[in-house]
Structure 1
Amino acid sequence: MMKLDTVAAFAAIVDAGSISGAARLMGRPKSVVSERLAELERELDTRLIQRTTRKLSLTEDGETFLPRARTILRETVEAAAELSERRGTLSGPLRIAAPVGFGMLHLGKAVSHFLQRHPHIDLSLDLDDDFVDAAADGYDAVLRVGTIADNRLVAKRLAHTRRLLVASPGYLARNGAPARVSDLADHRGVLYSNRESDWRFAAKGGWVVARPRAVLRVNNGLVMRDATTAGLGISLLPSFYVADALEKGDLVVLDVGCEPESAEIFVVYPRDRNPSAKVLALVDSLRSGFGDPPYWDIAHR
C-alpha cells in the first residue's frame, strides 16, 4: 500500500530540484529521502524521476503522477485542518498571493492581526504582480484588484476602492492641468501594463475613455506612484497607492468633470474546492481591518 511519506518525498524532490534539497526541506537524512522515492517507485512499478549526474527530471509517468501526489498531500493537510476546525481551532498551512504594491502597503498589519488571532495557522504570503492563476498554481486563495471574469473562481469582495487621477505639482506647473477628459490626450500618462491602457470615466451618457500618451508602462503600482510623484506624467491609480502622497502634497487629485472608474478588491479561490474555514476567517479579518469605506479612502471623499 502506498505510504504518505513516500508521496511527500517525491513532491519535495520535485520542489527542491534535488534529493539533498528535499532532505533539507523535510528535515530528513538524504539516504532516507532517496529510499522513500525508491519505495514509491517500486510500489507504482515505474520510474518517476530520471536521475543523472547533473540533474533530476520527471519521467512521463512522473509528470502524470505529480498533480495526483499534490492533491493527496493537500487533501491530507486539509483533512487534519478540518478536524482542528471542528474543535474550534484554525491550524495548518494557508498559502495566498497578492499584488506586490498592495501587499507592501496594506497587508503587513492586516495579516499580523489575523495571525495573532489564529496563531496555529502557518501562513505563506507570496507577493507577485504577474498574473497568478488561483485555480492552477496551488494557492488556497489569491487577492485580486479589479474585475473577476474567470468562471472557475469564487470571488469574495473585501473592499471597494476609488481610483484617482493624480499628478505632481511640478508636472502641472510645467504642463497645466487638464480640465476635461478629452484634454488627457495631450498629456503624458504613466500606465499600468497589466490593465488596458484606456482610462474610463463615468459621464451622463455612459463611459467616456481617455487615451493619454504613454511615457511609462509598468506592472507595479508603487513604481507608477513614484514616477508620477517625480513629475513624469499623470496616472490613474487606486487610492490605496496614493493616500499618503496626497496627504503630504506630493500628488494632487485632478478634476476633469467625470469620476474615474472605481475598483474592487477580492479574495478568490477555485470553485471546485470548498473554501476552508481558514480562508473564510481571513476574508472576515481583512474586511474588518480595511473597513467600509476602507481607511485609505476616507480622507479623500
Structure 2
Amino acid sequence: MKLESITTFVTVAQSGSLSEAARRLRISRSVVSERLVDLEKELGTSLLQRTTRKVTVTENGTAFLTRAIRILHEVEEATADLAARRGSLSGPLRISAPVTFGRMHLGPALFPFLARHPEIQMTLDLNDRRVDAAADGYDAVIRHGPIPDSFLVAWEIATSRRILVASPAYLMQHTKPTSLAELEGHRGIFYAHRGGGDWRFVQNGHKKVVHGQSALVLNNGDMMRDAAIAGLGIALLPVFIISSAVRDGSLIMIDIGLTPEQEFIYIAHPDGRNPSAKLRAMAVWLKDTFGSPPYWETEFDEHLTS
C-alpha cells in the first residue's frame, strides 16, 4: 500500500472532487484516478462512489478515512521529529484560533517564529466557532477563556484579565452599577460561546453569577466592543480588546468591587496524541513573547497610572 495513494484518497475525500484533489496535489486527474483504483484493489473494497457530479465516501471508505488521516499525520510527525533531531523544525502545522486575538496579537507573535523556522508549513484558521481539534484535523487550537475539562491537553500561554465596560452615553442614561445587585438590572452584551446571558465573578473564593438583561449576544469580541461603544449595554471583555477604547474615552470601566472569573489564552491539543517538537516550540515562543503578565495588560496599566 503506497503512501501517495493514501494521500490521494484523503485529499479526494476532504475536497469532494477528483479535479480539486488533482489541483491540490499538483498532479493530473488521470493520476488521481489511477491511485484510487490501486488503493481500492489493495484493500479489496470500494472507498468512493463516483458520479458525473460528485464524489462521495462509501461506508467502508469512511471507516478507512479516519485511520488514513492518522497514518499520514504520524508519518508527517515522524519526519518532523527527525528534522528536530537535526536541529530544525519542519512539516505541516494546522492551528485554529479566535479571530480577534489572532488578528491583534497571535499573528504579530507568530510571524517572527515562522520566519525563524521557514520549513514549517503552517495553516492558521481564524474562526470563533468551537472546533473539534481531533475530528477537524487540527494539531492544536488556541483559545481564550477558562481552561475546560475535556479530551484536550491545555497549555497556558498567557493570563487574560477582563473588565466591565460601557459607553459614556449608556452610563448617562442608566445609573452606573457599583454592586452585583445593581449590575443585574442592566442590559448586557454577551459572548455566545460562554453561556450567552450571564457575567461570572469571584467573591471570597466562591463564584457569583449575574444574569443581565440580554441586549445582544455575539460570537466575536470586536463586535462586542463595538456594540458597547454604540451604547447598547454593558460588556465584560478582555483588556486586549478594550484597551484602546478605554484610552480614547469611547468606553468607561465599571468597578463593582469583584474580580471577574479568571480566564486564559491557552493552546490545547488532543489527549493521547504526542505533541510535535514544532508545536511545543511554538507554545514556548508565544508564552515568552506575550510575557507574564502579558504585555497588553502591562501597557494598559501603565496608561491608567500615567
Q: Do both proteins adopt the same fold according to a TM-score greater than 0.5, normalized to the shorter chain? A: yes
- Tell me what 1:239 maps to: 239
User: Is the CA contact 1:23–1:33 (under 8 Å) kept in the aligned structure 2?
Assistant: yes
Counterpart code for 1:22: A
CA distance in 2, matches of 1:255, 1:35: 67
Deviates more, 1:143-152 or 1:65-74: 143-152
Q: 1:223 aligned to 2:223? A: yes
Question: Which whole-Å deviations, capped at 9, do the CAs of 1:105-133 have from their partners, x for residues lacking one?
Answer: 11110110211221111111111111111
- Tell me what 2:207 maps to: 207
Deviates more, 1:46-55 or 1:130-139: 130-139
Question: Which whole-Å deviations, capped at 9, do the CAs of 1:32-63 have from their partners, x for residues lacking one?
Answer: 11111011111111111011122111111111
- Tell me what 1:90 maps to: 89
Shift of 1:263: 0.8
- Tell me what 2:290 maps to: 290
Counterpart code for 1:223: M
TM-score between both structures, scaled by the size of structure 2: 0.94
How many aligned positions are there? 300
Distance 1:152 1:209, change over 3 A: closer
Counterpart code for 1:152: F
User: Is the CA contact 1:135–1:152 (under 8 Å) kept in the aligned structure 2?
Assistant: no
- Tell me what 1:262 maps to: 262
TM-score between both structures, scaled by the size of structure 1: 0.96
- Tell me what 2:304 maps to: none
Shift of 1:151: 4.0
- Tell me what 2:155 maps to: 156
Where 2:275 maps in the other structure, the secondary structure is coil
Give the aligned CA root-mean-square deviation in angstroms. 1.3
Shift of 1:134: 2.0
CA distance in 2, matches of 1:121, 1:299: 32
Where 1:186 maps in the other structure, the secondary structure is coil
CA distance in 2, matches of 1:89, 1:293: 30
User: Is the CA contact 2:7–2:72 (under 8 Å) kept in the aligned structure 1?
Assistant: yes
Alignment of 1:273-288 (within 5 A): 273-288=273-288
Shift of 1:204: 3.7
Distance 1:188 1:151, change over 3 A: closer
CA distance in 2, matches of 1:204, 1:39: 66
User: Is the CA contact 1:135–1:153 (under 8 Å) kept in the aligned structure 2?
Assistant: no
Give the unaligned 5+ runs of structure 1.
none
- Tell me what 1:18 maps to: 17
Counterpart code for 1:222: D
Counterpart code for 1:157: E
Question: Which whole-Å deviations, capped at 9, do the CAs of 1:147-185 have from their partners, x for residues lacking one?
Answer: 333442211110111110001111111223112121112
Question: Which whole-Å deviations, capped at 9, do the CAs of 1:74-124 have from their partners, x for residues lacking one?
Answer: 111111111111100001100111111111111110110211221111111
Q: 1:186 aligned to 2:178? A: no
Give the unaligned 5+ runs of structure 2.
302-306
Counterpart code for 1:42: K
CA distance in 2, matches of 1:152, 1:213: 34
CA distance in 2, matches of 1:141, 1:182: 40
Counterpart code for 1:117: R
Identity percentage over the alignment? 51
